[in-house]
Amino acid sequence: MGEGDFIKKPDRRFKLLVIIQSLWVITLLILALWWGTLLKQQGDEIATLETQLGTPEHQVQTRLTRTTRMISGESGTFVLLILITNGVLLFFFARDTKRSRSLEAFFASMTHELRTPLTSIRLQAEMIKDLEEDPKRQTFVNRLLEDVSRLEGQVQQSLELARIEGGGEITSQPVKINNFIQNKILPQYAFSDRKVTLEVELDEAFVLADLSALNIIFRNIFDNAFKYSSESPVILSIKGEKTEAHYFLSVDHKNASFKGESVKLGSLFYRGSNSHGAGVGLYLISTLMQKMKGTADFIPKEKQFSTHLCFPIEKGEIAHG
């Protein structure tokens, strides 16, 4: 996603706020005018009744003038205070929006600039690996490739977090989940010193998902498995079940432990007591699933951590197989 994807949403929100504030001010002025007109009519009627009851006209006019001034002054002050309050709120919102746009544009530019050298390092490391015959040196190159892959994932994750917080949208399309894991996710861990064992029970179902979001979701699941697995190889059990409108995916990470409050899992910056991360990964999984009209649940168990994902599927998907 480019820099423009960050700033479009704040601009839209600011314009929407201006429109709402303008409508509110217009409504307020109309109500104030109507209220003042109604009170004036009632005051005139009261003055007429007092005159008919024999009250001297100069006293009636004095009271009417005093009452009219009081009502006009109080209502005018009230309307003015509301207008000033709206103006102040609009000013601070505009200032914060401008500051937010500047930070997001800087962040987008920075992450873009980081991607280019990381890609260059990865390509050169892959060339060295192909030419290098010494097994020991190949191990070092593999570690370099693993670190570069992890950094690329962190850059993409940070960019996605900023995009989500900035109100960015996603685009869902039919994705064959089994092929996606085998062809897009597993190759990213090909250079890892620790191997992964997959126990997969998935059919050929298609889910509606955003490819970039799906990549981040599974990268976080796999990264957590590598971080918190107490044994090698890392064992992941992936099972799927399809209904008429949804596809339920269960990812069980065996030999994993979690210490903390399970109800807070998925909250931004929440980490368990034995966590080494920033508390962003599960939040991204949960938020991205919600944006794709799905859900994510995290269930820690003894020596196992389960992630349950619910994806929407296209209507008629079952009929088409």
pLDDT of residue 95: 80
Whether 196 and 236 have beta carbons less than 8 Å apart is answered as yes
Chain centroid, CA 67 distance in Å: 54
pLDDT over 80 (residue 293): yes
- pLDDT, tens digit, 9 for 90 and up, residues 106-142: 766 776 677 778 888 888 888 887 887 777 888 888 8
pLDDT digits 0-9 by tens, 154-163? 777 777 766 6
In this structure, are residues 234 and 254 in contact, taking their beta carbons and an 8 Å threshold? no
Q: What is the pTM of this model?
A: 0.59
Which pLDDT belongs to residue 138? Answer: 80
| 16: helix, strand or coil | helix
The string of pLDDT tens digits covering residues 207-222 is 899 888 898 888 888 8
The Cα–Cα gap between 25 and 84 comes to: 11
Token reading at 152: 């690329």
Going by pLDDT thresholds of 50, 70 and 90, the confidence category of residue 19 is confident
Q: What is the pLDDT of residues 150-199, one digit of tens each?
A: 787 777 777 776 666 666 677 888 988 888 888 888 777 666 666 777 78
DSSP lists the bridge partners of residue 198 as 236
Q: How many CA atoms lie within 13 A of 124 on its CB side?
A: 8
* pLDDT above 80 (res 288): yes
Percent of the chain with pLDDT strictly greater than 70: 78
> pLDDT for 55-99, tens place per residue?
777 776 777 777 777 777 777 787 788 778 878 887 887 787 777
Checking if the pLDDT of 283 tops 80, the result is yes
Question: 205 with 313: CB under 8 angstroms?
Answer: yes
Check if the beta carbon of residue 254 is closer than 8 Å to that of residue 239: no
CATH architecture of residue range(s) 173-320 = 2-Layer Sandwich (3.30)
DSSP conformation letters of 268-301: TT---TT--S-S-HHHHHHHHHHHTT-EEEEEEE
Are 107 and 164 within 8 A, CB to CB? no
- Backbone φ and ψ of 314, nearest 5°: -70, 145
> How confident is the model at residue 2, as a pLDDT?
44
Distances (CA, A) of 276 to 5, 16, 126, 265, 281: 31, 41, 29, 14, 11
Token pair listed for 306: 């389960």
SS3 37: helix
